[in-house]
């Protein structure tokens, strides 16, 4: 999907799912923009723009590197997710992240159309730039992060201390999937 202008989609979603409440006197109550190339770990976010940049302003930022590779439905579901956050904050004026108001709005939007589905966590492929595995030494318990499993890798330290520096099967590393924290 090429980078499309976001405002027309914002206006349509606002009319269809937010009763027009995110536009006041034909001005959106917040800015909507594409990120630069660095926003890779999240599909999008809603925030208060830091005061020193623009006091009292809000924005939704969508990840260019993540969403430009995906169909438009991914863009709409992400934008809609962030619009629910903006609606809870600016229209309902509640402090809530993925709480009951968020989930009720999400369910209403999902049941009203079948073009996209809003989810609490996005399920898009994220560039794999974090370690997938813990490699654990069964002898000394040392844990290290690995991007991929290395077959036959043994703990260097233990081969050194117990086997005169030669590879030994008793020091074979055991792999455990690393959980991503986000």
User: Does residue number 155 form part of the binding site for Zn ion (CB under 5 A)?
Assistant: yes
User: Binding segment for Zn ion among 8-16, 51-59, 66-74, 129-137 (CB under 5 A)?
Assistant: 129-137
C-alpha span between 32 and 8 (Å, rounded): 10
Whole-number minimum distance, CB 44 to Zn ion, in Å?
9
Subset of residues 61 to 100 that bind Zn ion, contact rule: CB under 5 A: none
Q: Tell me the pairing of strands 133-136 and 31-34.
A: unpaired
User: Binding segment for Zn ion among 1-9, 58-66, 122-130, 132-140 (CB under 5 A)?
Assistant: 132-140
Give the residue with the Cβ less far from Zn ion, 135 or 155.
Answer: 155
User: Does residue number 139 form part of the binding site for Zn ion (CB under 5 A)?
Assistant: yes
Give the residue with the Cβ less far from Zn ion, 60 or 155.
Answer: 155
User: Does residue number 158 form part of the binding site for Zn ion (CB under 5 A)?
Assistant: yes
User: Does residue number 137 form part of the binding site for Zn ion (CB under 5 A)?
Assistant: yes
Q: Long-range contacts made by residues 69-76, C-beta under 8 angstroms, separation at least 24?
A: 69/1, 70/1, 70/124, 71/1, 72/1, 72/4, 73/115, 73/116, 74/43, 74/116, 74/122, 74/124, 75/1, 75/4, 75/9, 76/9, 76/13, 76/115, 76/116
How many CB atoms within 10 Å of residue 43? 24
User: Binding segment for Zn ion among 62-70, 88-96, 130-138, 144-152 (CB under 5 A)?
Assistant: 130-138
Give the residue with the Cβ less far from Zn ion, 27 or 169.
Answer: 169
Interface residue list for Zn ion (CB under 5 A) = 137, 139-140, 155, 157-158
């Amino acid at each position: 999907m090429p980078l499309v202008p976001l405002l027309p989609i914002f206006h349509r979603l606002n009319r269809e799912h937010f009763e027009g409440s995110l536009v006041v006197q034909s001005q959106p109550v917040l800015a909507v923009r594409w990120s630069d190339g660095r926003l890779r770990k999240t599909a999008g976010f809603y925030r208060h723009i830091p005061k020193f940049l623009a006091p009292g302003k809000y924005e939704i930022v969508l990840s260019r590197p993540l969403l430009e590779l995906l169909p438009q439905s991914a863009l709409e579901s992400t934008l809609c997710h962030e619009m629910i956050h903006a609606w809870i904050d600016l229209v309902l004026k509640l402090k809530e992240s993925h709480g009951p108001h968020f989930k009720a709005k999400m369910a209403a939007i999902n049941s009203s159309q079948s073009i996209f589905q809003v989810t609490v966590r996005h399920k898009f492929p994220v560039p794999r730039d974090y370690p997938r595995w813990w490699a654990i030494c069964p002898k000394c318990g040392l844990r290290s992060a690995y991007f991929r499993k290395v077959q036959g890798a043994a703990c260097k330290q233990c081969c050194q201390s117990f086997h005169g520096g030669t590879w030994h099967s008793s020091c074979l590393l055991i792999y455990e999937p690393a959980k991503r924290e986000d």
